Amino acid sequence: MPAPAIAVTDISRPSSSWTGWGQWLALATMTIDHLTRYVLPADWDLAWAGSSIGRIAFPLFAAMVAWHGLFNTRHPLRYARRILVIGLVAQLPYMLMPRASDALILNVCFTLAAGLTWGAWLRDLSERHRHGELNARWLALGTAASLVAWALLGDWVEYGHRGLLLIPLFMLAMYHLHHAGESLAERLPAVGMAVPLLFLAGLMNSSDMAKSFTVATTLMILLLAAGAARHVPDVTLKMPRRLWLSWYPGHFALIALIVHWPV
């Protein structure tokens, strides 16, 4: 996803060095998933790669979007719009992928953009309520309205309702883990905030192998939010911005060319 606009320096913000490594890992695991699913012959029996390595990609993308939306930008909605632009460019080649159903499904960029928008909306409502700018009634109405939107949109996007929940729950867990104190009494409530996210990660896939990779990826991100991020060095080779922005639509276009090339 595109790099967000960076906010002013804030010593309370965690190190984001891990996201440089995360970008390479996310693109690699996503590409492996799509190659084994759409391109490589079925008799090669590589479905296990998509059900293991391939299950790292989505929670990792969601975690990076949530991290940047929470810690590294003042304008999460602008960040969401940039993700949406990538999704719009990628939608046509995405629709050319072989599918079991002809139903219109919007690609994962729409899931990420909507999830970030939802997470930012809920955070804004909470902050305004905490500062006395919004009473409990309007907080409840705003939350209810967002749940209606979630219910309506979930059938139209990749990863569905569960995918839309991932970023808001990542943001909730990351915020509390990062701001938790050092004592056990302060840490336990923060860990409790991570439980719904881990439970959701376990529901994201059908096979035990896929579930384990998704949960393990989510757990690693939570450890980074809890303080491990400061120990991650800067990435050795920074990903070029143009490559990062173009890979998702570009690799789908290439796969569509391979799949539909007349033989």
Q: Which two tokens stand for residue 258?
A: 């391979």
Note the pLDDT of residue 144.
94
Helix (H) or strand (E) holding 165, with range, is helix 160-179
Query: What is the rounded CA–CA span in Å between residue 102 and residue 214?
Result: 27
Note the pLDDT of residue 7.
39
Task: Please enumerate in sequence order all residues whose Cβ is within 8 A of that of 119, keeping only pairs 6 or more positions apart, or say none.
Answer: 66, 69, 70, 76, 167, 168, 170, 171, 172
Q: Given a cut of 80, is residue 73 above it in pLDDT?
A: yes
Model confidence at 184, pLDDT cuts 50, 70, 90, reads: confident
Q: What angle do CA 249, 101, 254 make, to 5 degrees?
A: 25
Residue whose pair of structure tokens reads 């899931």 in the numeric block: 111
Per the confidence metrics, is the pTM higher than 0.85?
yes
pLDDT tens-digit readout, 194-206: 999 999 999 998 8
Question: Which of 213, 203, 259 lies closest to 60 in space, CA to CA?
Answer: 213
What is the DSSP-derived secondary structure letter of residue 106? B
Across the chain, mean pLDDT equals 91
Backbone angles phi, psi at 69, to 5 degrees: -65, -30
pLDDT tens-digit readout, 15-58: 999 999 999 999 999 999 999 999 988 888 888 888 899 999 99
Note the pLDDT of residue 6.
39
